[in-house]
């Protein structure tokens, strides 16, 4: 994103948040998931489903992560406007220049305090539908269960982006499909659990539209 385009989008963000809220309120949700029952859980979703879960989970104090770069600033402002708590950093590599270590440590603290966290497991840059190891590391270190989740809409726009980002049309039906929780013990092989989560999310995604 060029500097001019970034500044323009940033300027428009305050006006965008109310519009996104109106869109979220117009969705007719089925089988509404009760976030209030959860304590210290990790919601794992595809990057392309981020808006869908954000619309579903507005004003529930869920924590999430946004990058330290320009696009992360825009995402942070929108997410905060939707009632999310945002940690800046990355679970992808844990490198200091990306704020990875700081971000992971903050999320670990949040989970241990019983707060819920949502992570786009194939973000921030892909490849799409490939779970990265950060979410498994976080679950293993905290003992927090991972809740695989996908979002589906009856009518939506799918962008031609790397993540096939989904934007629902107003007043459409929506549903969050949740799989069985995955726990990662200190003795578990992280790669096995990573593959299990990836298979689960792919399976849940295959149920969309049925």
For residue 110, report the phi and psi dihedrals to the nearest 5 degrees.
Answer: -60, -45
pLDDT higher than 80, residue 209: no
Which whole-number Å values give the CA distances from 94 to 23, 67, 162, in the listed order? 35, 12, 22
pLDDT at 1: 52
Q: How far apart are CA 62 and CA 43, in angstroms?
A: 9
Q: pTM of the prediction?
A: 0.90
Give 97's pLDDT tier (boundaries 50, 70, 90). Answer: very low
HSE on the CB side for 130, CA within 13 Å?
A: 7
Q: Choose between 30 and 124: higher pLDDT.
A: 30
DSSP one-letter code for 52: H
> Do residues 89 and 76 make contact, with C-beta atoms less than 8 angstroms apart?
no
pLDDT at 182: 98
Greatest distance between any 2 Cα atoms in the chain: 50
Q: Is 43 helix (H, G, I), strand (E, B) or coil?
A: strand
pLDDT at 166: 96
**Residues 67-96: tens digit of each pLDDT:** 877 677 888 999 999 999 999 887 664 454
Range 134-154 average pLDDT? 96
Range 34-49 average pLDDT? 94
Q: How far apart are CA 76 and CA 72, in angstroms?
A: 6
């Amino acid at each position: 994103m060029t500097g001019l385009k970034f500044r323009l989008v940033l300027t428009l963000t305050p006006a965008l948040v109310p519009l996104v809220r109106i869109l979220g309120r117009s969705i007719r949700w089925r089988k509404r998931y009760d976030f209030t029952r959860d304590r210290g859980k990790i919601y794992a979703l595809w990057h392309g489903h981020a808006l869908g879960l954000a619309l579903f989970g507005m004003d529930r104090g869920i924590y999430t992560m946004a990058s330290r770069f320009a696009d992360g600033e825009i995402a942070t402002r929108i997410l905060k406007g939707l009632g999310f708590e945002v940690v800046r950093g990355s679970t992808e590599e844990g490198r200091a220049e990306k704020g990875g270590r700081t971000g992971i440590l903050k999320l670990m603290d949040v989970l241990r305090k019983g707060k819920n966290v949502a992570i786009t497991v194939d973000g921030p840059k892909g490849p799409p539908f490939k779970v990265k190891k950060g979410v498994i590391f976080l679950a293993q270190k905290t003992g927090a269960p991972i809740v695989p989740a996908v979002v589906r809409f009856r009518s939506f726009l799918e962008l031609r982006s790397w993540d096939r980002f989904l934007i629902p049309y107003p007043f459409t039906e929506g549903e969050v499909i949740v799989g069985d929780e995955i726990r990662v013990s200190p003795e578990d092989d992280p790669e096995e659990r990573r593959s299990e989560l990836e298979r689960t999310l792919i399976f849940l995604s295959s149920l969309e539209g049925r």
